[in-house]
Amino acid sequence: MARRVEEAIARFETVRSGESGGGGRLSPALLLLDEVRQSSPPRLVAHHDRVGAMAAQLARRLGIAEPAALKIGRCGTLHDIGMSLVPPEIFDNPGRLSLNEKAVIHRHCRWGHDILAMDDDSDLALAALVALQHHERWDGSGYPQGLVGEEICLAARIVAICAVYDALRHPRPGKAPLCHARAIEVVCAGDCESRSTAFDPAVREVFVRFEDDFRRIADAAA
């Protein structure tokens, strides 16, 4: 595992430094995203794209100005970058994960943060924070830091609800997708894996009020 992480970090460091072998130099953010797409499973790339679209739209519905909404959307597109370091036998495991396997999954938040934080691009600073915090929960039940309420940055609170909704709507190993109505029920009331108090109430209220926006994004990818 340690070797896999070191090799992946080295790849991202090469991307960051612009040593990609291409003609013109792209921005670090675009190079990084390209590397993620090349090294990530298709299911993860599709999740990134949908969550990015949902996060930008939710930010707009919250009254956030367009430039900042687009920035939050980019954070959504990169939020699970650390998952590209999770071994396939864990990422694609349809059964119950062991405690050690769960611990590996939980590390993806810090891995994603560390990868994005290597770049001095100011646009990636927020993305790094979102990568670290998108599994934090409003009631303190999340990870990796157990943050509570507004200790979690707003962008991460936006991405968190979009990421959960999208995961519920699409097939995962060992789990069938839920219909839109059932996914909204889980977002609001919780289930065996989440609590009704997991999300920022104000963000969730806007998400539910404009639920058709997010249904359309999820359904367009079906």
Tokens coding 134: 């998108």
Model confidence pLDDT, tens digit, residues 7-65: 555 655 565 555 444 444 555 555 655 666 677 778 888 899 999 999 999 999 999 99
Model confidence pLDDT, tens digit, residues 54-90: 999 999 999 999 999 999 999 999 999 888 888 888 8
Q: How many helices (H) and strands (E) does the chain have?
A: 12, 0
The pTM of this model reads 0.86
CB 129 within 8 A of CB 106: no
- Dihedral pair phi/psi, residue 194, rounded to 5°: -150, 165
Residues 6+ apart with CB under 8 A from 124: 28, 29, 32, 78, 116, 117
- Beta bridge mates, 191: 194
Fold of 2-220: Hypothetical protein af1432 (1.10.3210)
Burial class (CB in 10 A: 0-12, 13-18, 19+), 104: middle
Whole-angstrom Cα distance, residue 13 to residue 115? Answer: 8
Alpha-carbon torsion (178, 182, 184, 185), positive or negative? negative
How high is the pLDDT of residue 81? Answer: 87
